[in-house]
Amino acid sequence: MTPRSLKILSASTWAVLSICVIMFFYLAIAIPNVISESIINGQGNYVQEIRSSTDLHKVQQIATMLTQEEAYISISAMMLLILAVITLLLCILCSSVSLFQIRRLRRQFGRQTMKSGE
């Protein structure tokens, strides 16, 4: 077993673990903001306000606020999706490096056992 191979294997494994932990904490913080119970429950209140309102200006304010909320939620969801895809790609890359190094180590062990068996 070469120290360089083990260092590469260890570093890629720690990179995957670190990325996954960071993404877990980010998602734990961001998801409640994106899918908030107050946003979901608030939609019904806005509909009732629009139906009961006779003032056009108030209806326009509610519509503007709903549009801004929807834009924020869309941007947040898009950002979460992009981060999830990037994280997935980094995990695939680091796992591929780990598998390549493991294959190299197995070949080295196979050669050593064949030499010692002779």
Judge whether residue 1 has pLDDT over 70.
no
Judge whether residue 87 has pLDDT over 70.
yes
pLDDT band for position 115 (cuts 50, 70, 90): confident
The confidence score (pLDDT) of residue 36 equals 65
If DSSP states are collapsed to H, E and C, what string results for the chain? Answer: CCHHHHHHHHHHHHHHHHHHHHHHHHHHHHHHHHCCHHHHHHHHHHHHHHHHCCCHHHHHHHHHHHHHHHHHHHHHHHHHHHHHHHHHHHHHHHHHHHHHHHHHHHHHHHHHHHHHHC
